[in-house]
Structure 1
């Protein structure tokens, strides 16, 4: 489907929404969509039906309508305001606004209120006395993006619809805050100009990669935010010989550990006690299939095996920087290390991690 209208959509549009628009606006058949996605036609059909049902949500319906006319109509640029188009394509603005609004929605009693035919939505928080306080204002176009990505959900639809933050919205907020923290760290280390240059080196923070799913043995598409991990900044640095501070094998090893870690957190309960792997945590008492979490047991076992292989110290920095996305300065402070020593230890940990994954059979590899 290279060159189809689906491929011109912004990267933040979820896969299900992409297929829904490609089917309803561009006329792509369900079988063609399933063939391109590498899945069964019934799977795509369920995704399309779910998106159709979601159009009862005013923000989701507005997002679909705007995307349809700005990316699937021949006269899309002439008839519709540039501000609306800019709001739905500027990823940097969306992330900045989402970080601000989602943080406010995490407050007790906070809701996002959207009225019909209004260009702005407001975050309102109820006080103990029964009064309401307005804590944030956001463009409806940005609120539509958040609703389409399931970061917020409608709990009361009407003349004034009310939205609450979802579990997915809380996860996204954590990722946005980690990205912002890493950006501030780049500014402290390289200055404003150096930080902007580092950001331009990876202007598109979202990357995609085909990986082998060890559970099914089939190929699937992995989408991830390259700007979140501290490995991104280190991979751009050079050592004394002018070589990259982290080679490709080290970066892939860190990304694989992170993917396994995220897969292990899937399920209704996401409080897996990985802190047991940190220094002084009693590693010997941990069992990946002990029932502490309900994530995929294979992913938990792979993370446990990798961290056990690294051992104390190395597993600490790998877990914090690759999985928890802690910056190096924060990791050094938490572990009581001297300044600028964390990157050396992390490099050793990633080298051992690459050796660990390199010795496994081809089928067990997550990153190809």
Structure 2
């Protein structure tokens, strides 16, 4: 990409670039043509234009300095997002996980400052599940993690195989969550496929844990929403699913706070400081999202807050949650529905209509 930007923006010839790279001119020419074809993607085109404008404004006329700057920006995935590596990877993991869910796309328009992730349900209804800045979306497109196949005022991007591989790598880097054992619970398993506590990563127990964790394409809420009750109606209505998604979105945003220890188990039931839970709930950023999660869990109370945290935020299956809490089989879905009903009332009573929207 650095060669392409130097050739198109700084006027460096193909032969000069080939001499610098110690390769044939045809090799550089193929690289330049490949990037030029990618510019048909509006996100990639916008990212390259932003890189060009930044270097031109800071290093006018200095080709050697421009070459160094373009190379540094092109070698890092966060270069087009103007952010640091940990922040970019946190945001990428949050969005790519959402795009792994069945029916999810990232929608963006030219006049929008942000992109939204929407998921289409079996009945054709769409649910907004996440919001991301254009800069992060551009960086993911440049890395080849998302792609679009259509045209129009609103573009829809889907995750690529490279994006799925990336989100798995990011999830594998997460430390195991050492949750406490409740009642009849078995040995605690790691979050997102990590090995159970005390088991080597390549042990049979660790392999089984990875296989039995939730699928990246579905969450416990989406699975339960497809079920029907005795009257034939969906077991979970759309508004209850949206409430669970709102809690999960705040939970994931809260993880981006540098000072956060990432151990949410201490915030369950008695661990919540109610005196601080209402502070900053209508603001923006990780601190405000963390306060909203704490306030919601505090309002749910013992039992309901546990099942909401495990199923909506940790994405733990209902059977695992029932064993962890010592509940009887097939009782978890009832408790989860009650928790979501209580959560819906909490959002209606404590948040303005604008603040109830995800993002």
TM-score by length of 2: 0.44
TM-score by length of 1: 0.43
